[in-house]
Amino acid sequence: DTEVTQTPKHLVMGMTNKKSLKCEQHMGHRAMYWYKQKAKKPPELMFVYSYEKLSINESVPSRFSPECPNSSLLNLHLHALQPEDSALYLCASSRGSFHMNTEAFFGQGTRLTVV
Amino acid sequence: GENVEQHPSTLSVQEGDSAVIKCTYSDSASNYFPWYKQELGKRPQLIIDIRSNVGEKKDQRIAVTLNKTAKHFSLHITETQPEDSAVYFCAATFSGGYQKVTFGIGTKLQVIP
């Protein structure tokens, strides 16, 4: 299984809503990532979890709250978002080995629209 | 932090011709350089990668070269086909347990049949 699965695929939410994005992988990867991608732009790193601990927060606003319940799951909790937060949110995972560079596998993404 | 510059931003080639995309990076500690292909509405997918202890790597029609001294690396696609049309991102990272990947701005490749 070389899949990173994200749900939902599409999400429309109002600015007062609370929603969560989910990501799951069963490759035994110990590093998981959230990226944000706007149209015609490269993915921008938001958060990195390494061995279920938050390792990097790229100065992301607190209305985005990541959570890693276990080594296979990664959530992104959303609250009080703004229309400019509309984007494709990509989850990725990699082996997380300390001795080798390993590729990152991306999920299909959640296309989020904030209205 | 790392900065990756990529060019050209758009590239049109005739089917069968070669395409070359170039990237430069700023952080000499970067040691892993993946290339991703992203088709419209789809996820980025790794097509080839190179590690800093190697100067060149080839996989069928795709090759990547790395010049560590000059801090630049390039993607070469030969005998291009319409299905090669996509956005290609180069990236650079130092991997020490996880990857803080910095992507280039992307190159939109159009292969004209």
The pLDDT, as a whole number, for residue B99 is 72
The pLDDT, as a whole number, for residue B29 is 86
| Half-sphere exposure in the Cβ direction for A35 (13 Å, CA) | 25
> In the predicted model, is pLDDT for residue A93 greater than 80?
yes
What contacts A39, CB < 8 A, 6 or more positions away?
A: none
Q: How many CB pairs under 8 A join A and B?
A: 64
Q: In whole angstroms, what is the distance from residue B83 CA to residue B7 CA?
A: 21
User: Nearest to residue A91, comparing CAs of A40, A49, A32?
Assistant: A32
Contact of A54 with A32, CB cutoff 8 Å: no
Neighbours of B36 (CB within 10 A): 26
Contact of A58 with A47, CB cutoff 8 Å: yes
Nearest beta carbon to residue B43 from set A31, A33, A109? A109
Interface with chain B: mutation pick from A55, A101, A102, highest number of B CBs within 10 Å: A101
Mapping DSSP onto H, E and C, the string for B56-111 reads EEEECCEEEEEECCCCEEEEEECCCCHHHCEEEEEEEECECCCECCEECCCEEEEE
pLDDT digits (tens, 9 = 90+) for B15-24: 999 999 999 9
pLDDT digits (tens, 9 = 90+) for A55-89: 889 999 999 999 999 999 999 999 999 999 999 99
> In the predicted model, is pLDDT for residue A15 greater than 90?
yes
> In the predicted model, is pLDDT for residue B70 greater than 80?
yes
Q: In whole angstroms, what is the distance from residue A64 CA to residue B75 CA?
A: 35
Nearest beta carbon to residue A55 from set B42, B98, B101? B98
B44-82 burial, b at 16+ Cβ within 10 Å, e below that, comes to: beebbbbebeeeeeeeeebbbbbebeebbbbbbbeebee
